[in-house]
């Protein structure tokens, strides 16, 4: 039986992303890949195989689910970046659904007044909506919006 991979890049998208990685110079700057437990399991291997430029990236993994789109998870992300001496020119790649793209973009935008980041959406909702348009954030005390 044929099954779809959990992570897909349209061929032109793949080329564009490779160009982007060259532009942000991942050979000189550090790269961090933020994932949740599911996208680590389902998407990471193929992603790094497709983009060997990222094989030395550090991983930051948070638990999956809306209940973890919180400031506490951001603190975990910031601690991980700090412990690994990240600075503004380094890159955070958000590999996941809308929770990861919302939270990762927010965390990157305030880390040392803003580090580089990009979204690699892995759910349909993130591909068509959440990862587009620049709205970012986390839930506060269980509240959205």
**Where does this chain bind ligand NAD (CB under 6 A)?**
6-7, 36, 38-39, 42-43, 64-66, 69, 96-100, 102, 122-123, 125-126, 129-130, 133, 135, 144
Residue 107's H or E segment, with its range, is helix 98-110
Q: Which residue has the tokens 């961090």?
A: 32
Query: What values do phi and psi take at 78, rounded to 5?
Result: -65, -40
Count Cβ atoms within 10 A of the Cβ of residue 60 and give its class: 0-12 exposed, 13-18 middle, 19 or more buried.
buried
CB-wise, 16 or 41, nearer to ligand NAD? Answer: 41
Residue 138 Cβ vs ligand NAD, minimum distance, rounded to whole Å: 9
Reading the block at residue 122, the tokens are 């892995």
**Closest chain position to ligand NAD (CB):** 98
CB-wise, 63 or 88, nearer to ligand NAD? Answer: 63
CB-wise, 30 or 69, nearer to ligand NAD? Answer: 69
CB-wise, 36 or 90, nearer to ligand NAD? Answer: 36
HSE-up (13 A, CA, CB side) for residue 39: 29
CB-wise, 30 or 123, nearer to ligand NAD? Answer: 123
Residue 66 Cβ vs ligand NAD, minimum distance, rounded to whole Å: 5
Distance CA 119, CA 98 (A): 10
Distance CA 92, CA 31 (A): 6
């Amino acid at each position: 039986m044929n099954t779809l991979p959990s992570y897909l890049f349209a061929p032109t998208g793949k080329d564009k992303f490779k160009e982007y990685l060259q532009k942000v110079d991942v050979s000189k700057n550090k790269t961090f890949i933020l994932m949740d437990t599911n996208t680590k399991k389902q998407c990471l291997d193929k992603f790094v195989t497709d983009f060997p430029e990222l094989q030395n990236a550090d991983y930051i993994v948070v638990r999956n689910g809306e209940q973890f789109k919180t400031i506490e998870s951001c603190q975990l992300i910031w601690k991980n970046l700090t412990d690994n001496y990240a600075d503004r020119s380094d890159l955070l790649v958000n590999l996941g659904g809308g929770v990861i793209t919302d939270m990762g973009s927010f965390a990157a935008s305030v880390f040392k007044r803003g580090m580089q980041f990009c979204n690699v959406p892995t759910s349909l909702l993130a591909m068509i909506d959440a990862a587009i348009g620049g709205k970012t954030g986390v839930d506060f005390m269980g509240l959205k919006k």
